[in-house]
Structure 1
């Protein structure tokens, strides 16, 4: 799609140009047109030229006490001061010179006035009236349009051979199917009208950041052969009350003129938040929302105008905006599954040169939980790493390393650990891997490293599930908590001391244990009672307790008990496999990074 650039110059711009032209015309052009070059001479020169017959006409200006006269060819004008001369009239008569009591001009006073003021003023008024009527018509009569304050800033796109298509969007098959139906309706509405079906007036795309909501809208623009208006919700917000509503009116006015068409509003939660009715609320935002509600489904039909909107905060939107008739359909754009991640990686890999033996399925499994934007970043990081290494294409190792870069940051080349710190980190990470491997229903270990990263991690253990994993049992969550606590347990068992390296492990283990009790109903005492509510599920999932202070105290005790129990389980596994722990930790200390295959080979090797 190609964006159509519309002029954004306000009326005051054209008024300023006309005023400047008018001033220049009067200051520069008119003096040159209305007057000749007048030369001042003394009275004696005037008398001598009279006697020699070199004067054509004479004008006597008694009020100004001056005499204007021309040469015999009347091509030059001269000026002199009058003196007391009783013989002047007789002298001029004897010389046969015509003399008058009016000015010698090249242009008449009427013509001079017309050229100087009347014609420019008429032109100025006509241009002003034309621009005023034109802009007032677009704004529905809004006076604020004079300065462009109430004009919609929507970008307009037309059909082109370039741009994003549905084939360029992967991992969101359900969302593509919904939007493809919209494009088909715009192309062939008769097929739907024949059965009596009508298209949804509005479609709301909801999902976490980076999942491709805006890209899907761009794909609709690329596929549809109708005008496409794109604007952000924040662009409606103005300092003055009423400006946002004026922009909404202008946007829909343009859309109706070009119907059938599509209007895309990104981050609609900027203007679509719930109206709380409190005194001192945001009147501008509420007026803008009210105008949007009226335009989408008021008395006047929006025939042929389909609204697309995107947000990652659907729970904050006003119920009147979400009802059928306005947004009839909600299309979830969730994080991609394993197949979706693999398809997305393949789409972005077409933009770079990659080796023929790259296993995209393995990369997709390693990037579990990644969004489309993160996967695109992973592919780009792989290409950048290939260039740094002096290769002409990206390899499997480049893609695997780029995942670690996105997850944990770049390797810190200047971070030098002491031998003791390096050994502690080795035992810590091997403790995680050992407990994970010795438990059932745990994801296999993919990699262990003790190379510090820019995120602050001194090392990490990567586990990768074999396939899609949608549900977690109570045993799986407990095993995961045990794995998280295993690093600290290994430190305490081997070195008889503990360090600050387990801070992130403690945070994650506590969060899982609390979720088991307050949200998942995995505690016998509380049973299936929700003690916690979750908000902003697409923006981190903030939680808030919904119980009494006494119950909160009991929850805290239960959380401590769960973590302690799993810590003891992890410690027992490490004590039972202390010899393997020492062997693998020493191997990791020397190599700094080992693969899951190397780890399992040492773990399964029988003692001699």
Structure 2
């Protein structure tokens, strides 16, 4: 307490010194300005200017015996000043003769008035600055919890209305209950199983201590955005019924060196007081990036990371403090942070599979009113690669559409339409295609569908539409696989490339020219072909050699080539060859099914949207122009089902 009072007195003295320095600077500045505006002249020069009719106005100040006057020629209002000459009784007469306006300011120079002026000019501003500093210091200490380390004399400046820079700002989501348990998490069974043990330890630590086991100090949740990492962390605390501290890694980053480390210390201080508890650091890669010796290194971030490493080593994990970190950039984390003893477990939180997607949809569907018989399995099959956040958004969009359509319950059409809204955007009512453009788009999408249906092992076509969407697509062909596949063969990828080339091939075959409508198809086909060459070793030219390294896998980052410039040129040639083979294959398929292409495209142009069943009914109908299918017509038969 004595040390705190000493620091406060030092702060007050500092305020007074600053106030005096500011007042001295203001006084000097005003003196300089005043000196620049008033020009001193002799009394004889004053009389000469009066006799020459140059003086316009005269003011006599009896307090300091000075005469201030202005001249008629000074348009800028320049002021002259001279001292009063004693016993000049004829001055008034002389001023009157030359039509000069004159007045007198009669003041006394008593000691009381001098002290009053000095107090008003010097003392009052000092008192105001002193009171302002005292009020500011009290407000800062109140916001910072009366923490002496946050005093001004300690070298830090706090935020106004937002807490001090040394406070962690960690939010306690729940003292005992977060309101979330593992029952509220679906599609992440493996992650829940890994975290269940931590929850059991926090709930009943004696059971593990009897056998000599210790609680993991930390667990790192790794996965793409929207997969439920934060939700899982809350569920652990909810299962164990312990306090849950939540903070983002960006909140540790400060402009002043040392403030981030102070926040880390404060965070673990609070955690020790509330133990057992869960400390959750979201986006931990913000402060946990790998340290290096480059000139772009951030001293503040590295000090914060060093303090985090020290705190994770220092706390007694028998007290039940578990640190959970979440990131979608694990490759950038410092090895000292991810080693056992700090983050003992690395828990992947991947995109859900088919069963997981259906479970997530059912979980969110419980929160909305739905019509009986809504088949969420169809939606789960139509959304491969969707995260939990995407699926929650699909259910919400379906509910919004039901309200917009004036219904009280969500229908199957609402859910299916919401899938298209999330994937391709809303329908663009303002975009009206010309007849020719509509015809081109119809043939383009029909080309995709025919090439897909003519190949073995490709996903069946479920929908074809030429209605423009807000994502920029003028139409699309949706394929929904009956089963989920985790492996793809070289033939599968070549078929995918051929299907993507089907739209451009149809344009060239029917209209004899290409449009920019195939830009997205070309991008996807090139990406698949490049992966076949650089990552999967699926070409005879390079064999089983990895020529590229994937970056930011969870954020959709592409691969960077790890080869020489000469090899990179050969890779480009191989990619071009693979895509061109797919293009040729698509063109040959459409030539063999030219009449079906015309029939389906005209039907699509008329209806604008057709289902997969309608498409396969026309495509497989024996009307003298039977479609050309592979030797084993399994693809067409499966699609018809």
Tell me the TM-score normalized by structure 1. 0.77
Do 1:429 and 1:461's aligned partners in 2 also have CA atoms closer than 8 Å?
A: yes
Number of the residue aligned with 2:313: 297
Q: Tell me, yes or no, if structure 1 residue 505 matches structure 2 residue 521.
A: yes
How far did residue 278 of structure 1 move? 2.3
CA distance in 2, matches of 1:471, 1:289: 40
Number of the residue aligned with 1:263: 279
Do 1:450 and 1:592's aligned partners in 2 also have CA atoms closer than 8 Å?
A: yes
Task: Give the number of aligned pairs.
Answer: 491
Q: Tell me, yes or no, if structure 1 residue 135 matches structure 2 residue 146.
A: yes
Tell me: CA distance 1:138–1:399, structure 2 relative to 1, closer, same or farther (3 Å): farther
How do 1:137-536 and structure 2 match up within 5 A? 143=154, 147=158, 148-159=164-175, 163-279=179-295, 281-298=297-314, 303-536=319-552
Greater CA deviation, 199-208 or 215-224? 215-224
How far did residue 259 of structure 1 move? 1.2
Do 2:289 and 2:332's aligned partners in 1 also have CA atoms closer than 8 Å?
A: yes
SS in 2 for 1:538: helix
Do 1:412 and 1:452's aligned partners in 2 also have CA atoms closer than 8 Å?
A: yes
Number of the residue aligned with 1:561: 577
Do 1:139 and 1:249's aligned partners in 2 also have CA atoms closer than 8 Å?
A: no
SS in 2 for 1:554: helix
Number of the residue aligned with 2:567: 551
CA distance in 2, matches of 1:512, 1:279: 38
Number of the residue aligned with 1:46: none
5+ residue gaps, structure 1, are 1-10, 20-119
How far did residue 496 of structure 1 move? 1.1
CA distance in 2, matches of 1:422, 1:133: 65
1:467-498: CA deviation from partner (whole Å, max 9, x where unpaired): 21111100000000000001110111111111
How far did residue 149 of structure 1 move? 1.6
Q: CA RMSD in A?
A: 2.7
Tell me: CA distance 1:207–1:132, structure 2 relative to 1, closer, same or farther (3 Å): closer
Greater CA deviation, 158-167 or 387-396? 158-167
Tell me: CA distance 1:212–1:162, structure 2 relative to 1, closer, same or farther (3 Å): closer
How far did residue 226 of structure 1 move? 1.6
Tell me: CA distance 1:223–1:474, structure 2 relative to 1, closer, same or farther (3 Å): same
CA distance in 2, matches of 1:155, 1:250: 13
1:381-406: CA deviation from partner (whole Å, max 9, x where unpaired): 00111111111111111111101101
Tell me: CA distance 1:145–1:135, structure 2 relative to 1, closer, same or farther (3 Å): farther
Number of the residue aligned with 2:613: 597
CA distance in 2, matches of 1:559, 1:477: 13
Do 1:233 and 1:269's aligned partners in 2 also have CA atoms closer than 8 Å?
A: yes
Do 1:157 and 1:227's aligned partners in 2 also have CA atoms closer than 8 Å?
A: yes
CA distance in 1, matches of 2:604, 2:325: 51
5+ residue gaps, structure 2, are 1-6, 16-130, 159-163, 625-641
SS in 2 for 1:510: helix
SS in 2 for 1:135: coil
How far did residue 542 of structure 1 move? 2.4
1:522-564: CA deviation from partner (whole Å, max 9, x where unpaired): 0111001011111100011221111111111111111111111
Do 2:178 and 2:244's aligned partners in 1 also have CA atoms closer than 8 Å?
A: no
Do 1:142 and 1:246's aligned partners in 2 also have CA atoms closer than 8 Å?
A: no
